[in-house]
Amino acid sequence: MMKSGLQTAEAMLMATIKKKKKETPFILKNLRRLHYAVGKIKTMKREYVKATNGVLVLNMRFAFLSALSRMLMKLLLQHPIDNTEESEEVRKGEWK
């Protein structure tokens, strides 16, 4: 069975304590707290990276959409649609 990093650190610390013939549960307690805090920091960092990537993806999508809309507007302005005959038919009510 493989040990986690915390279990290995606890085992090493307990071996050191036994060699010195002192019991210090305070150190073990702080080691657990430190390990928990490190895990929390890693989780927060991962969530931050995900959020940042999400924002970047959204920004890229919006940038793409704005560039696309600008391109379409330029295209429409350069090539105006001239359907005056159809417009007159619609106004007269002859269009079916």
- Please indicate, yes or no, if residue 94 is contained in any of the structural domains: no
Residue with the two structure tokens 């002192």: 22
- Please indicate, yes or no, if residue 88 is contained in any of the structural domains: no
pLDDT given at position 25: 64
pLDDT mean over 10-33: 67
pLDDT mean over 45-66: 75
pLDDT given at position 17: 65
- How far apart, in whole angstroms, are the C-alpha atoms of residue 6 and residue 31? 8
Tokens of 6: 């915390």
Domain hosting 25: range is 5-77
Q: In b/e form, how buried is each residue of 55-80, taking b as 16+ CB within 10 angstroms?
A: eeeeeeeeeeeeeeeeeeeeeeeeee
pTM: 0.36
Beta carbons of 31 and 10 less than 8 angstroms apart:
yes
pLDDT given at position 94: 60
Domain count, the chain: 1
- Please indicate, yes or no, if residue 14 is contained in any of the structural domains: yes
- How far apart, in whole angstroms, are the C-alpha atoms of residue 48 and residue 37? 16
- Please indicate, yes or no, if residue 66 is contained in any of the structural domains: yes
pLDDT mean over 60-78: 74
